[in-house]
Amino acid sequence: MDQMRKVIRDYPAARWGVLVLVAFVQAANYYFYDAISPLKRTLEESFGFSSTDFGLFVSFYSVPNTFLLMAVLGGIILDKLGIRRTGSLFIGLMAAGGLITAYGASLIYTSGGPMYDFMGSFAPSYSPELKMMLLGRFFFGLGAETSIVVISKIIVKWFKGKELALAFGTKIGIARAGSWAAFYFSPIIKDIAPHWTLAVWFAAVLLCVGLLAFLFYLILDIKLDRQRERDVKGSTAGSDFSLGDFKKLLSNRSFIYITLLCVTFYSAVFPFQSFSADFFLNKFSLSEQESGVMASYLSLGTLFCTPLFGFLVDRYGRSGTLMVFGSLLLVIIHLILALTYVNPVVPMILLGVAFSLVPAAMWPAVAKIVSEKRIGTAYGAMFSIQNLGLWAFPILIGVVLDVTNPGITEEVIKGGDYTYNYTWAVLMLAGLGVLGLFFAFLLKKEDKKSGYGLELPSNKNADNSE
């Protein structure tokens, strides 16, 4: 009889198969996000980008999620309309944004193709190439952040009460494999292709494959809902949203502290990762390919460590402790990279370890703090606030680089013989990491009062989520 009552999520092969499928969608997202980063020098020499221009391009991903609150709205839409419709819409927008970005760098466009003259008719201080690529980055970000919220809710749906932290850790590890591949392969594709822009087109096509993978997942989602004896609409039938949901979140100190940790920690990592290949190119005089490989070690560390730490959280707990330790390690590594010339292989792998510790502990912890029916809203709020940092700090890094390297003018860039000093930019990120460490301490302290059980294994908690 018990066997008859099983649903598809109760079979390990099924739920782990689902995880691999949706993790691939996020890996394609991460690949595209990072594929252009190791090509910063190429963008400077091909389109005349300054470091500030590059920082603006990186940060434009976060504009819709910061100023239009799309990650929050996406979370609300997710809770209201469900996984299937929300995911199809926003993953589709993500793929469209990738194709627009690739078009903006393409020979068709730069040779005077459709929209080129229009883009050159306003804001003359920015090139038509930059403006079209910014438009693509905008639509990519519009879809990408909400797609991560959707995937996070899918993981909770299939794994809550089971191997939740391990599932999140594995999902993050597979996704980071996308970042590793972007830094490793993008410069290689650029060098062996007939034209360097094929590296961008490859990343855009990968997003389209991710969309197809999600559409295949929908079949499994429908099957699960039917087996749980729900309406055929299943995950498309959400619950009504009210402002009271936000009031509950904002009155929850644990949620506030974990959100502040999220924005400070990720803002100290992702913007650095976007500039890291150029950092190694300039500080250690590496080639673009060598710099891309060096930058990829960060993601390589997370690929193996995040699932491991997720397993440890499932079995032993200690989420709060792991977040504190990971935040401390982040600060130490940034100081080493900024102030020393130590071989960067080990610091980058250790940065990957830090980047595994905090996410592996943080994202499953949210499921303890917030009820499942509001998890989309909670993740959406966190991603939106996180994007404030992901918008601001790439621009700040670019500005700091241009201000602290005044001798690198447009004429010097055209000459191709120049070196940026990254010391102050990386020290700024180390200071941001100190703030993250402070919020991690506050979160651990608050957990002792709130009783959410962040130090307990994932399948054991006080069940006090709101």
pLDDT tens column, 260-310: 999 999 999 999 999 999 999 999 999 989 999 999 998 887 888 888 888
Residue pair 310/360 in contact (Cβ under 8 Å)? The answer is yes
Residue pair 341/192 in contact (Cβ under 8 Å)? The answer is no
At residue 461, the pLDDT reads: 52
Work out the average pLDDT over 439-445: 94
Work out the average pLDDT over 14-34: 95
141 in a structural domain: yes
Dihedral sign of CA atoms 406, 407, 408, 414 in order: positive
Q: CA nearest 142: which of 92, 105, 102, 106?
A: 92
At residue 246, the pLDDT reads: 67
Q: What is the CATH number of the domain that holds 195?
A: 1.20.1250.20
Q: What is the pTM of this model?
A: 0.82
385 in a structural domain: yes
Of residues 400 and 236, more confidently modeled: 400
2 in a structural domain: no
Q: CA 188, CA 196: separation in Å to the nearest integer? A: 9
341 in a structural domain: yes
At residue 237, the pLDDT reads: 45
Q: CA 10, CA 291: separation in Å to the nearest integer? A: 44
Work out the average pLDDT over 355-368: 87
DSSP state at residue 1:
-
Number of domains in the chain: 1
pLDDT tens column, 310-342: 888 888 888 999 999 999 999 999 999 999 999
pLDDT band at 165 (very low <50, low <70, confident <90, very high): confident
The winner for highest mean pLDDT among 8-17, 63-72, 116-125 is 116-125
Residue pair 378/74 in contact (Cβ under 8 Å)? The answer is no
Of residues 306 and 238, more confidently modeled: 306
At residue 58, the pLDDT reads: 94
455 in a structural domain: no
At residue 428, the pLDDT reads: 96
Residue pair 149/383 in contact (Cβ under 8 Å)? The answer is yes
Exposure string of 43-74, with b = 16+ CB inside 10 Å and e = fewer, is bbeebebbbbbbbbbbbbbbbbbbeebbbbbb
Residue 181 sits in which domain range?
10-450
5 in a structural domain: no
Q: CA 329, CA 426: separation in Å to the nearest integer? A: 15
462 in a structural domain: no
Q: CA 321, CA 303: separation in Å to the nearest integer? A: 21
At what angle are helices 70-81 and 128-159 packed, to 10 degrees?
Answer: 40
Residue 460 burial (C-beta neighbours within 10 Å; 0-12, 13-18, 19+) = exposed
pLDDT band at 12 (very low <50, low <70, confident <90, very high): confident
33 in a structural domain: yes
Of residues 97 and 231, more confidently modeled: 97
**Share above pLDDT 90 across residues of the chain, in percent, rounded to a whole number:** 59
